[in-house]
Every structure is written in structure tokens, then in C-alpha cells.
Amino acid sequence: METKNEETFRLYYDDFEPFCQWKKDEHEILEIHLRGFKKQHLRVQVEEPGVVKITGERPIDGTLRSRFRKQIKIPKNCKTDEIRAKLSGGILQIILPKQTTAFPGKPGSTESITSESMPSNYLLYIESSNSTLEMNTKLALQVAGVLAVVVAFGAYAYKYCHYGHVEG
């Protein structure tokens, strides 16, 4: 059984899925839009085997916190030891430097072909800890709200339409 003190210090979480997009430059860059987050709210870790884990948690007010978790697979042509992260203007950039693997072009040609990967293939999953119970509760509240409006409208229509046609 929880005491009153334990209830007042319980944290509640608003899990969300941030907007992400890949950009290609001389590096592969994943941009994650995180308005309101600061550097101290974020954690970027290179894990084995070949996965970058990105997590963030920030206070909203009182006991409510906003958080997310993402994992991306590191492309095979990436220099794992040179992966960097940069937060600027509410956008976290995960910079995945490419290894420069050159293949010979046509004989006598100075052209070379570099292997490139499609970064969108490396998004593993976005994990959210919203439970089914929480989602069902939200749905039930929405249905109850709609039902209350329908009942109120029906009562209004019955009262004013029914009494207006009474013969006397």
C-alpha cells in the first residue's frame, strides 16, 4: 500500500515518437526533431553489435516528464569510432561518417565508384512504453465524451421538439 508521500513523488511519463529524417552529405545524418530538449536531457550511445541508441527525457511540469527512445542500425560503411551527435535549434543530428571505399572505374579512367547505403533501411524501431491499458483508457475517455454530447443533444432535442408539438 502506498503512503501519501510516495504518491506525491510518483513520476508520470508522456512517451512520444519524435519526427526523424535522413540527410545525405559527405556523411549520413539522422535528424531528430526534439523541441524543448537540452543537451543534458539526451543520451546517445553506440552499442554492440552496430546499433546507436538515442534516449531523451525532460521535465514538463511537476511530476510529468516527456521521453522517447530510438535505435538505429549503423551502416556497414560507417566509421563507428567517429560517430558524433550535435544538438542545435531543437534538432539532434546523429552524424555517421562514411568510410571511403573506392572501386576502380573504367580502365584508364580517373573516376571511382563509392559504395553508399540507404540510411532509411537502418531504422530499427521506435520504442514507446505506452501500454495497451493507457491507450484503451484514452480511447474509453474519448468515447465517453462523444456519448455525453450525443445524450445531451438527444435530451435537448426531446425537450424542445416534444413539448413544442403538444396540443392543448
Q: Are residue 94 and residue 135 in the same domain, yes or no?
A: no
Give Cα 159 to chain centroid, integer Å.
48
Nearest to 29 by CA among 70, 113, 68, 86: 86
Task: Say yes or no: 122 and 135 in one domain.
Answer: no
Q: Which long-range contacts (CB under 8 A, 24 or more apart) does 48-56 make?
A: 50/74, 50/76, 50/80, 51/124, 52/83, 52/94, 52/96, 54/85, 54/92, 54/94
Q: Are residue 108 and residue 162 in the same domain, yes or no?
A: no
pTM score of the predicted model: 0.56
Same domain, 30 and 85: yes
Same domain, 27 and 106: yes
Q: What are the tens digits of pLDDT across the range 36-48?
A: 999 999 999 988 7
Q: What is the pLDDT of residue 101?
A: 56
Based on the structure, what is the number of domains in the chain? 2
**Same-domain pairing of 11 and 59:** yes
Question: Do 113 and 167 have their domain in common?
Answer: no
Confidence tier at 146 by pLDDT (50, 70, 90): confident
* Residue 141 domain boundaries: 131-168
Q: Which of 56-65, 107-116, 155-164 has the lowest mean pLDDT?
A: 107-116
What per-residue confidence (pLDDT) applies to 103? 53
Check residue 38 and give its pLDDT.
Answer: 94
Across 138-144, average pLDDT: 78
Q: What is the pLDDT of residues 88-119, one digit of tens each?
A: 999 999 999 988 755 544 554 444 333 333 34
Same domain, 17 and 79: yes
User: Do 100 and 157 fall within a single domain?
Assistant: no
Tell me, yes or no, whether 115 and 45 share the same domain. yes
Q: CATH code at 91?
A: 2.60.40.790
What percentage of the chain has pLDDT greater than the value 70? 70
Let me know whether 124 and 138 are in one domain. no
| One domain for residues 97 and 152 | no
Q: What is the pLDDT of residue 32?
A: 96
**3-35: per-residue pLDDT in tens?**
555 556 788 999 999 999 999 888 899 999 999
> Do the Cβ atoms of 30 and 44 come closer than 8 Å?
no
